[in-house]
A and B are shown apart, each in its own frame.
Chain A
Amino acid sequence: MPSDLEIGVFVFMLATFVGLEIIRKVSPLLHTPLMSLTNAISAISVVGAIILTGSQDATQLSKILGFVAITAVVTNIVSGFLITDRMVKMFKKREGKK
């Protein structure tokens, strides 16, 4: 059985190639929303922060750092997705009626 680490490296390698291929195809029109979207997605560290803070052996320090971390990433998640949506909504083809 491969170790967690080996599987992790494998996953990392595949995800990087998938990422490079997909991002290459993103329209340059959307580079700004893309960046705020990936930013919101990288706030996935919320998972780590919740598990850390919620664990039984969380020390006082862990709780405080975890609290700050969750606040920071949730801000990113919420503002990141909402602002991305606000931006992509603005991209319209041609005005329908005028």
Chain B
Amino acid sequence: MAHLVNYLYIISAGLFILSLKWMNSPASSRRGVFAGEIGMLIAVAAAFIKAQPIYNLEWIIAAIVIGTAVGIPIAYIMPMTAVPQRTALSHACGALAAALVGTAEFYQRQPKADTELAGFVMVALIIETLLGFLTFTGSLMAMGKLQEVLPQRPITYRNQNAVNFLLFAIAAGIGVRMILVPTDTFLFPIFVALALLFGVLLIIPIGGADMPTVIAILNSYAGLSACAMGFVLSNNLLVVAGALDGSSGLILSIIMCKAMNRSFTNVLFGAFGQVQTSTGKTEQRSVRSASPEEAAQILESATSVIIVPGYGLAVAQAQHKIRELFDNLMRRGVNVKFGIHPVAGRMPGHMNVLLAEADIPYDRLVEMDDINGDFPQCDVALVIGANDVTNPKARTDKGSPIYGMPILDVDKAHTVMVIKRSMNPGFAGIDNDLYYMDKTLMLFGDAKGFVSEIVKELPARVAA
């Protein structure tokens, strides 16, 4: 029986690897999801065999039934704009589970003998619970910010980093102490409380625009905590799946950091976007604005258009209207593409999912590095709800906080149109020079409303 379980674990681990491998292209991605599902079913079956003779079956079945009953509606009702929140919530759930299993293991094994829970197993258990609990509260905070229950702007106070560091040091100290002397069970609740608190404090100073990185980091932690559980239970399937998840989160956060030209530490401890309000406030510069009619005229006479979407698009739920605009222009023979910045939106790949939801074919969604060469030949760049990722200051102004961040070269297009609610600076609080250029037209209004006005203008012209 033990052999059977091990072979099932191996098959399951193999399927997980294939599952991720098939995510390399949209064509094979559904197969990838399927492989993952089968892998998980096999793993659960193996767990039941392994647990024989199984006790408390009614508890397990009840939990599975409740989990399924909650999970199905989440998957189908959740609108695509809320995917970042759901992801944060599921990081929280996964981390909580790992942490609780770790806690249960600790109390269950602890009283019997010191030898059983000593040395490296205890190290793994401490890591599992530490990462698990801090990811749990951290993800809940991230979710609160994404859902806008909590303020999106960074919450800061004096000596924040010192306080956080001290707290972490105490938690780590207690952790080490418990590794050395596992019999000190009274320390465990303190350790748990510190980990929970640290998770909260770690995330509240981080602003909304950094959420793509934060979510990726939390993803990585949730995976590592499952991995640590694998070491506690000597279960290699958990080690493999946890390591896959951990490395995925790691890579995504590296990509996000690179796309913002910032380091991990800067994202986690930088409290971005609160110092730079002083610059560029003095002179009132003039902008040109245009009406939907004018915008429609310009778009109609263009041969190539690049649309640059940002978080504002998600907020305004404008993706379906943009699809109408896209279809309309494509029918007129205008070459329309989308330029997607890696950190556009609130999680990695967020814009792609929103636009795909609106049925925009994915070969029209182009990554930053691939589309930047096209801007000089492009007639119109239409920026919708994006700001900092288009700011030419990132290339030129050494003093700017976003200096060095790779941007979409929107300013190189022949004409630039920006749909924006007002002239308020974006998240980073930096004025965008793009708006003051002679070739830039500001289209003031709500993204969804404005795009639908443009669409309304377009068919009228074809009939005339």
Contact = CB atoms under 8 A, between A and B. Distances in A.
Contacts of A71: 63, 66-67, 70
Contacts of A75: 67-68, 70-71, 74, 90, 93
16 contacts: A15-B13, A24-B251, A29-B362, A31-B347, A37-B33, A42-B242, A43-B40, A44-B238, A44-B242, A50-B51, A53-B56, A72-B96, A80-B71, A91-B356, A93-B361, A95-B361
Interface of A: 4-5, 7-8, 11-12, 15-16, 18-20, 22-59, 61-63, 65-95
Contacts of B445: none
A36 to B, nearest CB: 6
B86 A83 contact: yes
B20 A39 contact: no
A79 B74 contact: yes
B19 A41 contact: yes
Q: For the complex, would chain A's binding face be called helix, strand, loop or mixed by DSSP majority?
A: helix
B20 A44 contact: no
Given A8-B236, A32-B83, A48-B230, 16 more contacts: A31-B347, A36-B90, A39-B91, A47-B46, A50-B60, A51-B50, A70-B59, A74-B66, A78-B70, A79-B72, A81-B40, A83-B74, A83-B83, A84-B33, A91-B29, A94-B363
B51 A62 contact: no
Contact of A82 (B20, B76, B246): B76
Interface string B336-359: 000010100001111011001101
A17 B234 CA distance: 20
B81 to A, nearest CB: 12
Interface of B: 13, 16-17, 19-21, 23-26, 29-30, 32-33, 36-37, 39-40, 43-44, 46-48, 50-51, 53-57, 59-60, 62-64, 66-68, 70-72, 74-76, 78, 80, 83, 86-87, 90-91, 93-94, 96-98, 100-101, 103-105, 107-108, 120-121, 215-216, 219, 222-223, 226-227, 229-252, 255, 340, 342, 347-350, 352-353, 356-357, 359, 361-363, 365, 367
Contact of A45 (B16, B21, B238, B367): B238
B107 A61 contact: yes
Nearest to B109: A57
Contacts of B67: 70-78
B235 A39 contact: no
A52 B24 CA distance: 35
A69 B363 contact: no
A10 to B, nearest CB: 9
Contacts of A18: 17, 244
A55 B13 CA distance: 24
Contacts of A90: 353, 356-357, 359
For B21, B23, B62, the residue with the greatest tally of chain A CB atoms inside 10 Å of its CB is B23
Contact of B247 (A19, A28, A40, A87): A19
Contacts of A50: 44, 47-48, 51, 60
A51 B357 CA distance: 39
Contacts of B46: 47
A78 B73 CA distance: 10
Contact of B226 (A44, A56, A62): A44
B63 A67 contact: yes
A57 B108 CA distance: 8
For A20, A41, A58, the residue with the greatest tally of chain B CB atoms inside 10 Å of its CB is A41
For A35, A53, A58, the residue with the greatest tally of chain B CB atoms inside 10 Å of its CB is A35
B188 to A, nearest CB: 12
B87 A29 contact: no
Given A8-B231, A47-B235, A79-B71, A19 B222 contact: no
